Amino acid sequence: MNNSDLAQILIRAVEEADSSDRLLDAVQELAAAGIEEGVPTLIAALGYNNPGAAVAAVDGLIAIGEPAVQPLLQLIDGYNYGARAWAIRALAGIGDVRALDTLLEAAKSDFSLSVRRAAARGLGTLRWQQVLPEKLESLHTQVLEALLLISQDPEWVVRYAAVTSLETLAIAIAVTLPDQASRITNQLQQMLNTDVDLGVRTRVKFAQEKIQPQHPQQHQEVFAPKIKLQDTEIAHRGDSRR
Amino acid sequence: MNPSLENIKDLSVTVDNADGGSLTVEQAIANLESADLGLRFYAAWWLGRFRINEPAAVTAVIKALEDEADRTPEGGYPLRRNAARALGKLGDRQAVSPLIGCLDCSDFYVREAAAQSLEMLGDPVCIPALIKLLAVGLQGEQLISKQPDLSQPYDAILEALGTLRATEFSPLVKAFLEHPIELVQYSATRAMYQLTQEPVYGERLVQALAGEKLQLRRAVLADLGAIGYLPAADAIAQTLAENSLKLISLKGLLEHQVNHITPNTFSEGAIKVMNLMDSLL
């Protein structure tokens, strides 16, 4: 059996599934096969109101990667916000820069918070190495402006997602836009001081630590088992004195 | 092709005051006594939604708990329901005593809203009144009936008792672990965890995440978030449900870690939860 025959069988299984469980199994199998011909069916599965199947389809689309980007951008569902959120998640997971305009638009102005959330996250997971160096600066500026805006979204989860992307962008623009980096650190500090949501403030603090480990030793203490750290410290001190 | 039996309710639509719903605080307070019952109903919801906890608003919403004008054909009190719901969000303890009064209302949904808001207000003074309502389903420390008893909002009452740490009444709460309705069982399980901190109850909720029905898995996600049960983190991330609900649940775990466990640094648990949340965005 060749790939195409296999694809037809797996696609038919999705189309003929007559229960939530069968649909989930069929989508999982099609996703696991990683065949390009399955892309439209996987995209359709994002709209079936079956979270398990949607997760499997997103994973499958991410694994297929670049060949799925164009169909995702074309078939994105303007009327079903559930499907749209999953499609945006797939684009975010693939990280292809061709999705940038779609992500910017969705993050700034979609009415559904799950779409804005997925798009805000996607702006931080783009694979910038695809971009020609001379174009990078203007794209980073666009994303920076968008994220500063999105980090004031009324919904906590969108602000949370924006923080994760400000974190990765801060690291990326250290090279391209070093003089703009303070805009990110200022925005994060302001969120830490004023955001009403404890979960968001906690994620901001985590982002700050990842961007700027100011006190490496204290930083380590948070992550490493304490006893071990103290041991090595003592050993070091002993060494240097000798 | 049969996509799905369940409809996902949109948890995500932001509230826009699109259809003439744009109000000022003064208007909303005035509307609570409007001749138009629809405007009263909307105003009570609006004051809660935007957490307008000014004294004048609180007083007006408390007054709406005694409304007689707005009735359903079955005898329900829509405005009272909305007013009771709003008072939980306004966070003013003046509402505690009037809400306790609502636990005697003839309308089931008013009693349910009152129990939920009393939980949010966090004043243990309401515990005896909640116990009185819970006891309707009990004979001593046993459930009266093995048949589903829908006469009282038991799930809301149990959740409130757990949050309010009504430890001396845990034998009564425990009886509801056997209630024939699964949602009520979960509420009792969640309350038992809060009352005893015994992992066996947390684990029972984790097992429920593997259950058949999406609606129940959604409820359990909310329960685990409310009790901040950290060992559930991976199971929450993996259960078959919408990411929005998983994220809310995990946020509950995260905030519990930050609030109760390690106020100033990140625990390993907090970092693990944040990494899971990032992966679900």
A187 neighbors A166 (Cβ within 8 angstroms): yes
Measure Cα distances from A237 to A217, A233, B144, B209, B275 in Å.
14, 6, 70, 51, 35
CA distance B31 to chain A (A): 26
Chain A contacts of B242, Cβ < 8 Å?
51, 114
Chain A interface, best mutation among B217, B247, B281, by max A CB count within 10 A = B281
Asked if residue A236 has pLDDT above 80, the reply is no
Give percent of chain A above pLDDT 70. Answer: 87
- Residue A214 — pLDDT band, cuts 50, 70, 90? low
Which tokens hold the place of A197? 């949501």
Burial of B106 (0-12, 13-18, 19+ CB in 10 A): exposed
The answer to whether A115 contacts B12, with C-beta atoms less than 8 Å apart, is: yes
Using the Cβ of B281 and the Cβ atoms of chain A, whether some distance falls under 8 Å is answered with: yes
Which B positions 14-73 lie with beta carbon below 8 A of chain A?
14, 16
Nearest-Å Rg of the Cα atoms of chain B is 20
B220: helix, strand or coil: helix
Nearest 10 degrees: Cα torsion B154, B158, B160, B166? 140
Nearest residue in A to B250, CA atom: A199
Helices and strands (H, E) in chain A, number of each type: 14, 0
Give percent of chain B above pLDDT 70. Answer: 91
How many CB atoms are closer than 10 A to CB B165?
13
Asked if residue A232 has pLDDT above 70, the reply is no
Could you tell me which of B96, B241, B220, B146 has the C-alpha nearest to residue A52?
B241
Predicted ipTM? 0.81
Which A positions 72-111 lie with beta carbon below 8 A of chain B?
81-82, 85, 89, 92, 111
pLDDT at B146: 76
Could you tell me which of A12, A40, A36, A39 has the C-alpha nearest to residue A26?
A12
Asked if residue B270 has pLDDT above 50, the reply is yes
Chain B contacts of A115, Cβ < 8 Å?
12
Alpha helices in A81-155, H assignment, sequence order? 81-94, 100-109, 113-122, 133-150
- Residue A82 — pLDDT band, cuts 50, 70, 90? confident
Asked if residue B107 has pLDDT above 90, the reply is yes
B232: helix, strand or coil: helix
Q: Which tens digits make up the pLDDT trace of A11-33? A: 999 988 888 889 999 999 999 99
Using the Cβ of B259 and the Cβ atoms of chain A, whether some distance falls under 8 Å is answered with: yes
A143: helix, strand or coil: helix
DSSP letter, residue B7: P
How far, in Å, CA of B54 to CA of A26, rounded? 55
pLDDT at A174: 86
Could you tell me which of B3, B51, B56 has the C-alpha nearest to residue B26?
B56
Q: Quick one: average pLDDT of B262-270?
A: 81
| CA angle (A67 as vertex; A172, B242 as ends), nearest 5 | 75
pLDDT at A5: 85
Asked if residue B80 has pLDDT above 50, the reply is yes
Which A positions 180-239 lie with beta carbon below 8 A of chain B?
198-199, 202-203, 205-206, 209, 221-223
How far, in Å, CA of B225 to CA of B255, rounded? 9
pLDDT at B25: 92
- Identify which of B14, B277, B278 has the shortest CB distance to residue A113: B14
Region of poorest pLDDT, from A207-216, A232-241, B53-62: A232-241
Q: Quick one: average pLDDT of B233-258?
A: 94
pLDDT at A4: 81
Give percent of chain B above pLDDT 90. Answer: 79
Q: Quick one: average pLDDT of B159-184?
A: 95
The set of residues, in sequence order, having a beta carbon less than 8 Å from that of B55 and lying 6+ positions away, is: B92
Asked if residue B3 has pLDDT above 70, the reply is no
| CA angle (A15 as vertex; A14, A19 as ends), nearest 5 | 70
The set of residues, in sequence order, having a beta carbon less than 8 Å from that of A69 and lying 6+ positions away, is: A91, A94, A96, A98, A99
pLDDT at B266: 85
Asked if residue B2 has pLDDT above 70, the reply is no
- Residue A75 — pLDDT band, cuts 50, 70, 90? confident
Asked if residue B130 has pLDDT above 80, the reply is yes
How far, in Å, CA of A95 to CA of A87, rounded? 12
pLDDT at A62: 95
| The length of chain A, given as a count of residues | 242
Asked if residue B12 has pLDDT above 60, the reply is no
How many CB atoms are closer than 10 A to CB A100?
18
For helices A156-176 and A113-122, the axis angle rounded to 10 degrees is 20
How far, in Å, CA of B276 to CA of B263, rounded? 20
Q: Which tens digits make up the pLDDT trace of B37-66? A: 999 999 999 999 989 999 999 999 999 999
Chain A contacts of B258, Cβ < 8 Å?
198, 202
- Residue A1 — pLDDT band, cuts 50, 70, 90? low
pLDDT at B165: 96
Burial of A126 (0-12, 13-18, 19+ CB in 10 A): buried
Asked if residue A220 has pLDDT above 60, the reply is no
Using the Cβ of B266 and the Cβ atoms of chain A, whether some distance falls under 8 Å is answered with: yes
**Mean pLDDT score of chain B, rounded to an integer?**
90
Could you tell me which of B63, B81, B62, B84 has the C-alpha nearest to residue B72?
B81
pLDDT at A229: 38
Nearest residue in B to A52, CA atom: B240
- Residue B222 — pLDDT band, cuts 50, 70, 90? very high
Could you tell me which of B201, B116, B211, B97 has the C-alpha nearest to residue B156?
B116
DSSP letter, residue B8: P
Asked if residue A228 has pLDDT above 90, the reply is no
Which A positions 8-27 lie with beta carbon below 8 A of chain B?
15-20, 23-24
pLDDT at A226: 37
pLDDT at A2: 74
pLDDT at A49: 85
